Amino acid sequence: MGEVAIDKDGKIMRRVIDMRSDTVTKPTEAMRAAMANAEVDDDVLGNDPTALRLETEMARIMGKEAALFVPSGTMGNLISILVHCDVRGSEIILGDKSHIHVYENGGIATIGGVHPRTLRNNKDGTMDLDSIEAAIRDPKGDLYYPLTKLICLENSHANTGGRCLSVEYTDRVGELAKKHDLKLHIDGARIFNAATALGVPVDRLVQAADSVSVCLSKGLGAPVGTVIVGSKSFIAKAKIMRKTLGGGMRQIGVLCAAALVALQDNVKNLETDHKNTKLLAEGLNKIEGLTVDITSVETNIIYVNVCKDSSNTATKLGKSLVEHGILVMPENTFRFRVVIHHQITTSDVLYTVSCLQQAITGVLSEHVA
């Protein structure tokens, strides 16, 4: 059952099971205490000490020289691309289903003047190596061609269902980049999920990359922020780009303190999230009228397909779930997405399965805890 509580006015409040995204995670008590006590200073005029501590720690964890705290993943990617592509007429190679290409307002082009060259993302989040190589512009054609400067990967890959790119694949793309004198950027918003699922140290996973954008406000649960990591010279330029975009914040240690707690406390919880995700995926797949590609569930994201011959739609199901206090993200008429994070419990998962079962067949399932 969804837990109930009484709020300060004596009204019964049902717990909301928010699985629209892992960005919805609210700060924990430990984070709130850290934020209240954070040592701060003006991070633009000098260094905010807590931001410095976070950036130093992130650089170390990711095995890169330096790091920079930014307000969002969108800015993390935008800065990275604009720094790697600081010459007019640049082009980048990225997946046609990548977050950068689909969900970042085309900012790299509209704001940054960078041209995107998209390649088909396979079901597993990769792009074929041959296709990548073929997409690199021949410098001999520079009278007509933009100049390829950068390849972007996304790990874990969101739109294909939180799929993980392996170390081997990442290394091979890295070699390809080096061979053609290109840089490699990884949109690692959920890189810790990937590293956990693959059982690989995160620094080894991103070794081939020149820069990585790592989100702290998703599964790790911090209220705000992303950290980009890279070489010292890359980060020096990134800092200026951040200011130009308007991301230069002052006593930022408040938010960085929460991010430090997220790093310390919540990376180890990701494995539980993945277990809960598998549990949910299997439970939903058993419901007649719904299908989930179980083999593609590797981390904390599930795409649920609604069978077209039933009278159900993703919107209808989404609405009936809301009545039970469960929030999911409808993608289109016959598909919705569910994302698990550390504030979703196993009993929430079981409750969700039973509610969906009820919604579809009107029958209480035996899964009720």
One residue of 255, 263, 302, 326 binding another protein per CB under 8 A: 255
> What is the β-pairing status of strands 329-332 and 326-327?
unpaired
**Using the rule CB under 8 A, is 111 a contact of another protein?**
yes
Residue 154 in the binding site for another protein (CB under 8 A)? no
| Shortest distance, position 245 Cβ to another protein, whole Å | 5
230 binds another protein (CB under 8 A): no
CB 283 within 8 A of CB 350: yes
Say if CB 264 and CB 245 are below 8 A apart. no
**75 near another protein, rule: CB under 8 A:** yes
Determine, following the binding rule CB under 8 A, whether residue 23 of this chain makes contact with another protein.
yes
Where do we find the tokens 């008429």?
333
- Least spacing, CB of residue 254 vs another protein, in Å: 5
Query: Which residue among 258, 292, 339, 356 contacts another protein (CB under 8 A)?
Result: 258
By CB under 8 A, residue 240 contacts another protein? yes
**What single letter denotes the amino acid at residue 302?**
I
Q: Which stretch binds another protein (CB under 8 A): 27-35, 57-65, 182-190, 201-209?
A: 27-35
Q: Distance between CA 123 and CA 143 in Å, rounded?
A: 36
Question: How does 102-138 read in b/e, with b if 16+ C-beta sit within 10 Å?
Answer: eebeebbeeebebbbbbbebeebbbbeeeebeebbbe
- Is residue 254 near another protein by the rule CB under 8 A? yes
Is 125 near another protein (CB under 8 A)?
no
Cβ(173)–Cβ(134) below 8 Å = no
Task: Tell which one of 15, 32, 172, 237 touches another protein (CB under 8 A).
Answer: 32
- Is the four-CA dihedral 244, 245, 250, 252 of positive or negative sign? negative
98 binds another protein (CB under 8 A): no
Query: Nearest Cα to 2, choosing from 368, 316, 366?
Result: 368
Residues that bind another protein (CB under 8 A): 20-21, 23-27, 32-33, 35-37, 40-42, 44-45, 70-72, 74-76, 78-79, 104-107, 110-112, 217, 223-225, 240, 243-255, 258
